[in-house]
Copies of this chain bind each other. A is one copy, B any other.
Amino acid sequence: MSDPRIEAYFDRLWPICRSITGNGLRQSLSIVSEVVDALVCSEVATGTRLFDWEVPLEWNIEDAWLECPDGRKVARFTDSNLHVLNYSEPVEKSLSWEELTPHLFTLPHMPNAVPYVTTYYKKHWGFCLSHAEWEKLPREGTYKAVIKSRLQPGSLTYGEAVLPGTSGKEVLFSTYLCHPSMALNELSGPLVQMFLYEAIRALPNRRHTYRFVFAPETIGVIAYLSRHGFGLKQNLLAGYVITTAGDGGAFTYKKSRRGNTAADRMAEHMLRHQSEPFSVIPFAVGGSDERQYCSPGFDLPVGSLMRTPYQTYPEYHTSLDNKSLMDFAAVERTIQLYINIVKGLERNAYYFNTVQFCEPQLDKRGLYNAVGGTKDRARVLSLRLHLLNFADGHHDLLDIANRYGCNLLEFEENLSLLLADGLLEELKK
Q: Which of B105, B295, B389 contacts A359 (CB 8 A)?
A: B295
A292 touching B359, Cβ below 8 Å = yes
The answer on a CB contact under 8 Å between A295 and B356 is yes
**Residues of chain B with a CB closer than 8 A to A226's CB:** 358
CB distance from A402 to the nearest CB of B (A): 12
Q: Report B-chain residues with C-beta under 8 Å of the C-beta of A4.
A: none
Residues in B neighbouring A294, C-beta threshold 8 A = 389
Contacts of A291 in B (CB 8 A): 359, 385, 389
Could you tell me which residues of chain A, from 258 to 312, have a CB within 8 Å of some CB in chain B?
A: 282, 284-286, 291-292, 294-299
A residues touching B (Cβ–Cβ < 8 Å)? 50-54, 105, 117, 119-122, 124, 218, 221-222, 225-226, 229, 257, 282, 284-286, 291-292, 294-299, 353, 355-361, 363-364, 370-371, 382, 385-386, 388-392, 403-404
CB-CB nearest in chain B for A404? B284
Measured in the bound complex, the distance between the Cα atoms of B407 and A112 in whole Å is 39
By the criterion CB–CB under 8 Å, are B358 and A52 in contact? yes
A120 cross-chain contacts in B, Cβ below 8 A: 370
Question: In the complex, how many angstroms separate the beta carbon of A82 from the nearest chain B beta carbon?
Answer: 15
A51 touches B295 (CB 8 A): no
Q: Which residue of B lies closest to A296 (CB)?
A: B392
Question: Is there contact, CB below 8 Å, between B361 and A53?
Answer: yes
A364→B121 contact, CB < 8 A: yes
When distances are taken between beta carbons in the complex, the residues of chain B under 8 Å from A51 are 355, 357-358
A-B contact list, 6 entries, CB within 8 Å:
A221-B358, A222-B358, A225-B357, A229-B357, A295-B359, A297-B356
With contacts A286-B385, A390-B296 taken as known, whether A355 is within 8 angstroms of B52 at the C-beta atoms is yes
Answer whether A295 and B358 are a contact pair too, CB < 8 Å, given A285-B389, A370-B119, A370-B121.
yes
Tell whether, in the assembled complex, residue B386 and residue A285 are in contact, meaning their CB atoms are under 8 Å apart.
yes
Smallest CB separation, A389 vs chain B (Å):
5
Docked Cα-Cα span, A359 to B299, in Å, equals 12
Q: A120-B370, A296-B391 are in contact. List 7 more A-B contacts (CB 8 A).
A: A52-B355, A121-B364, A222-B358, A229-B358, A295-B357, A296-B389, A297-B356
